[in-house]
Chains A and B, each alone.
Chain A
Amino acid sequence: MVFYVRRILFYVITLWAAVSLNFLLPRLLPGDPAAIMLGKLRRANGGRPLSEETIRGITSMLGAEKGMTFWDQYIAYWGRILQGDLGISSTRYPAPVIELIGAALPWTVILVGVATVLSFVLGIVAGAWVGWKRGTWVDHLVPATTFLQSIPYFWLALVLVAVLSVQLGVLPIIGGYDVFDFPGGPEWSWAFFGSTVVHAILPAITIVISSVGGWLLGMRNMMVQTMSEDYVVTAEAKGLTPSRIRTRYAARNAVIPSLAGFGIALGFVVAGSIVTEQVFSYPGIGKLMIQSVQGLDYSLMQGVFLVITLAVLAANFLMEMIYGFIDPRVRHRG
């Protein structure tokens, strides 16, 4: 019980630190977003002077409130967060940040989440198998997959699009669903669901191809190490079937370090895969992040980083709980 209380306390403190850091980071960046926005507006306005009203609207919206101390800004920031009000985006003015994130989050979580789980399961199963058969030809899978992982993701995606979508025309080029068939946006129908699945195949494949190697390598090495443990030798001496030794004795223990890594990977799912979303025009949160940083959109940046922070913390917490459950040693020392 002490273990759980301690961990929860630890996470509460980490959460506070992370949220505070999240407040601080954008303010340490160079440049002045209000000035940038006013410049943009003036240019777009054909050089016409902006009204006092417009200027005040922009400066108060962009968080560069004049005469407000740093401390007051910090208090106001916490107040807003606790109310779930993440402010208004300037690059997508006047859309509320929470709505933008809300619309982008499900796409990212499902696509990158499924791809991450798929990549993990594939990597672990293949890794266990390769480790079990070490010294045979299947060892070649290790350099093969790490080679695939070393291909720049961007390039891999472009090649796949050029071949599968443009040349062969079997998969769609962009989007989370077919915008031509569903001009009205997402709807609850099987046709729409099918469309999203078809559209997710290519981005998911590229994510899996470029990440499976790491899991495979880690699992294989752990597997090789575990198989030299005494209890595996004992199991063999007892005459257990090889498949039982492989799954119940070796693989089960070998997977523990990979699970920890998986927890972290799951947390980063929310950060999305910025490049994936860019290449495939896939709706998601990575794109919001990059656009907000480019436009120095403080509110949106904060919102996105906050969601990512929360997700990483939550995933870590979850994995630690599971870890403590499957590995009693952690519980006692913690």
Chain B
Amino acid sequence: MATSRRKRLGMMFAAGAAALALTLTGCASNGEGGSGGSDRPLRVWSGSMTPINNNFNPFSVDTAAHFTFGPIYEPLFFFNQLSADPATGLIGDKYEYSEDGTVLTIKIKADQKWSDGTALTAKDVAFTFGYGPNKDPEMVSVEATDDTTVVLTYSVPKFTAASLILGSTWIIPEHIWKDIKDYTTETNPKPVGSGPYVLKSFSDAAYTVEANPEYRDGAPAVKTVQVIGIDSNQSSEDLLKTGKIDWVGQFIANPDAITKDGRISTLNQQQDPTTMLTCSSVELGCTGAQTDPAVRQAINVAIDRSAISDKAFAGLSGIASPSFALLPRDEKWLSSPDLAKSPQEPNITEADGILEAAGYTKGSDGFYGKDGKSFEIDLFSPDGWTDYNDAAKLISEQAAKAGIRINNRTVSEAEYWTPLANGNFQMALYGVTQSLVADPYSTYDRYFSTPATAKVGEQPVKGVNYARYSNPIVDAEVKVAAATEDEAIKKDAYAKIQTEIARDLPYIPVVLNASQAFFNTKDYTGWPSEKDLYAAPLPYLSTASAIVLTHLKPAK
């Protein structure tokens, strides 16, 4: 009896499934559209989720549509963060600093036009630098001396701000923006820019840009580009597999499954270091065992970075350097080959040695401490950043093997940033943003210098030195490096900084994050490759996305 019942149940399931499949095939008719053809739009997912904001205001840094930055509005120059080559001119032609670095003279290319046909002159550039949040308190004057020359004068040397001033200030047309008083609430739904593309249509699920006929190098070969909003990485992976989209920059654990049929190619760049951020300075109000450099040094040698890279980052991450220079790009700034790599294998004997030399003893529970009480360090990461969560778990387990107690927990994203900014934390997994140019200056200035930090309880006003790291040698050398263009002096300053930060480890490097890009090489040619990294092929990177688009051609 029982068996016959079960059989019937099985049959019912089968019948139901068949019926379901029949109705489904009957319904789906349209939806094809993956095949090539030169006039179809190139489809991109730049990481936007739906609903996409109808906002093309270049001053809405966080909320404007991605293609505002690069494809529609341009900076003066493009700084390729993957290479040490000099900047490429976009609106700008060349630039020059005065001897002391306080006067910056910019020549722009002649006969350029905005997408509405109005002439783009040095006046627009000068207007941009004097507009809204672009106004730098250290700027003395900005002047367009003729149609193609702009002179910016500052009260302090600005050698190190080149990528900021020239590479990420979005040039806006004066004839439109002079009437916009409140740039924070402007949504600029009909943007007039100088970039290779102009906005064609917008909906909150996707927007389309088309080639700008007024573009100074002529309209790009790819005539239309559609940017789509997708809510999950899995959906984007599925769309890529089925040939619905052509270009994404996202994490895919198993890239071979995507690239095996030869249509999609991938490029993996490792740039931004993932670190264990520690609240390091007792003077500035940090508490906990991690304020002792010896403890940080012991953790640094006790963790198994190769296991973390394999298990938490799917083996796609790169090797971090305690000098925080990006190798091989910043090779010339590296003071010693010893600082090229953080230890990849754990060395528990060395960790024991460091801790014992610093006066710690192992208690009966197998954990180190002082005065018979073992210490605990709290380590957190934002819930849902799965690679970070996994890495934190591994770190906690690996440190326990060396007798260091690290308690791992996850917090909501909202509760992640506030304690970091205010300094109310002990240790957190944290991503440091790599400098955009082949010079680690901005990393040292923004993450390691005293002016970039604040007391615990206050937020840093300038910079993101959340580690509360304060070291007079680093501060002095950052100042030295800022005031010169002489490579020998700079190198010497960086060597001193690197010695300090690699010893003190306010940020304990873990890995270099992978940034994977996937793109359709069957229907489009001209993508960046390992041999020709003219720009990072990541659609969410401002300016670089536009550089890549202008290099592309539909395949015949």
Contact = CB atoms under 8 A, between A and B. Distances in A.
B418 A178 contact: no
Nearest to B185: A94
Nearest to B447: A47
Contacts of B50: 175, 281, 283, 287
A281 B235 contact: yes
A108 to B, nearest CB: 12
Contacts of B461: 49
Interface in B134-181: 135-137, 164, 168
A243 interface: no
Nearest to B462: A49
A121 interface: no
Nearest to A38: B459
A184 interface: yes
B4 to A, nearest CB: 9
B134 to A, nearest CB: 9
Given A35-B418, A36-B418, A140-B12, A185 B201 contact: yes
Interface residues of B, number: 76
Given A179-B205, A183-B201, A170 B133 contact: no
Interface stretch (A264-272, A288-296, A321-329): A288-296
B241 A294 contact: no
Nearest to B167: A46
A54 B133 contact: yes
A194 interface: yes
Nearest to B228: A179
B43 A180 contact: yes
Nearest to A171: B28
Interface string B445-464: 01000001000000101111
Nearest to A91: B63
Contacts of A29: 414
Nearest to A170: B28
Contacts of A137: 5, 8
B27 to A, nearest CB: 6
A295 B414 contact: yes
A74 interface: no
A291 B418 contact: no
A172 B446 CA distance: 46
A179 B25 CA distance: 21
A279 B205 contact: no
Given A278-B231, A283-B51, A166 B242 contact: yes
A31 interface: yes
Interface stretch (B54-62, B333-341, B487-495, B529-537): B54-62
A239 B200 CA distance: 72
A181 B51 contact: no
A173 interface: yes
A23 interface: no
A283 B52 CA distance: 10
B487 to A, nearest CB: 24
Contacts of A184: 201, 203, 208
A146 interface: no
Contact of B208 (A33, A161, A183, A295): A183
Given A140-B12, A166-B241, A294 B226 contact: no
Interface string A145-177: 000000000000010011011101111111111
Nearest to B422: A35
Given A54-B133, A198-B27, A180 B9 contact: no
A104 interface: yes
B31 A178 contact: yes
A83 to B, nearest CB: 19
B421 interface: yes
Interface string A191-234: 00011011001000100000000000000000000000000000
B232 interface: yes
A140 B206 contact: no
B184 interface: yes
Nearest to A58: B184
Contacts, number: 203
Nearest to A100: B51
B30 A40 contact: no
Nearest to B133: A51
Interface in B365-379: none
B97 interface: no
Contact of A294 (B53, B201, B232, B414): B414
Nearest to A176: B205
A103 interface: yes
B418 A175 contact: no
B234 interface: yes
B414 A170 contact: no
Interface in A31-47: 31-33, 35-36, 38-47
Contacts of A144: 9, 12-13
A35 B459 contact: yes
A158 B234 contact: yes
A51 B461 CA distance: 11
Contacts of B164: 46, 48
Contacts of B49: 281, 287, 291
A195 B29 CA distance: 10
Contacts of A172: 28, 31
Given A95-B54, A170-B28, A46 B168 contact: yes
Nearest to A205: B20
Nearest to A278: B231
Nearest to B28: A170
A41 B231 CA distance: 23
Contacts of A158: 234
B33 interface: yes
B205 A185 contact: yes
B41 A31 contact: no
B442 interface: yes
A280 interface: yes
Given A176-B205, A183-B226, A294-B412, A40 B62 contact: yes
Contacts of B244: 173, 180
B413 interface: yes
Contact of B30 (A53, A195, A291): A195
A95 B53 contact: yes
Interface in A246-301: 277-281, 283, 287-288, 291, 294-296
A281 B414 contact: no
Interface in A110-137: 137
A318 interface: no
B204 A283 contact: yes
A244 B91 CA distance: 82
A53 to B, nearest CB: 7
A183 B463 contact: no
Interface in B256-290: none
Contacts of B185: 57, 88, 94
Contacts of B116: none
A62 B207 CA distance: 28
Contact of A92 (B28, B53, B132, B230): B53
Given A174-B239, A198-B31, 15 more contacts: A35-B459, A39-B417, A45-B133, A53-B133, A92-B51, A95-B54, A144-B9, A161-B238, A170-B24, A171-B27, A173-B242, A281-B205, A281-B231, A294-B414, A295-B414
Interface of A: 29-33, 35-36, 38-51, 53-54, 57-58, 88, 91-95, 100, 103-104, 137, 140-141, 144, 158, 161-162, 164-166, 168-186, 194-195, 197-198, 201, 205, 277-281, 283, 287-288, 291, 294-296
The 6 closest A-B pairs by CB, nearest first: A185-B203, A44-B61, A179-B206, A281-B231, A170-B28, A184-B201
17 contacts: A35-B421, A36-B414, A94-B60, A141-B12, A161-B235, A170-B24, A172-B31, A173-B238, A175-B50, A178-B31, A179-B228, A198-B29, A198-B31, A278-B231, A279-B235, A287-B49, A287-B50
